[in-house]
Amino acid sequence: MFAIIDGILGYRQGDTVAAITIRNLEEALKERLRQQAAANGRSMEDEVREILRTTLASPSARMAHPADAIMARFAKVGGFELETPVRSPLRSPPDFGK
């Protein structure tokens, strides 16, 4: 059913090396990774490392401000404008000393 991969993905960050373990990876996904790694002449571990590097280096992988994501979604349909509601003057604060 599920393959358990205890792969160690190391990358240099100063003198430290980070490691992660991937569990419950579907067998079909593991097979696709194996085939892609073989096609690129890399081990599965090196292939995963390269996938992470290229995916996380792309600008779309960087977290955007939520407002930017909303504006981008509505830009496809011509954007939108919201009317500023008319506000009444502020009321005087209560005087609790009386």
pLDDT recorded at residue 7: 39
- The dihedrals phi and psi of 41, each to the nearest 5 degrees, come to 70, 35
pLDDT recorded at residue 63: 63
pLDDT recorded at residue 55: 82
Residue 3 has pLDDT above 80, yes or no: no
Q: Note the pLDDT tens digit of each residue in 30-87.
A: 999 999 999 999 999 999 999 988 888 776 656 667 888 788 888 888 877 788 889 9
pLDDT recorded at residue 12: 45
Question: What pTM did the predictor assign?
Answer: 0.48
Tell the residue number behind the tokens 């079909």, with chain if given. 28
pLDDT recorded at residue 46: 93
Helix axes 44-57, 27-39, angle to 10 degrees: 90
Do 39 and 50 form a contact (C-beta atoms < 8 A)? no
pLDDT recorded at residue 43: 95
Do 9 and 48 form a contact (C-beta atoms < 8 A)? yes
Q: CA geometry: angle at 42 spanning 38 and 46, to 5°?
A: 130
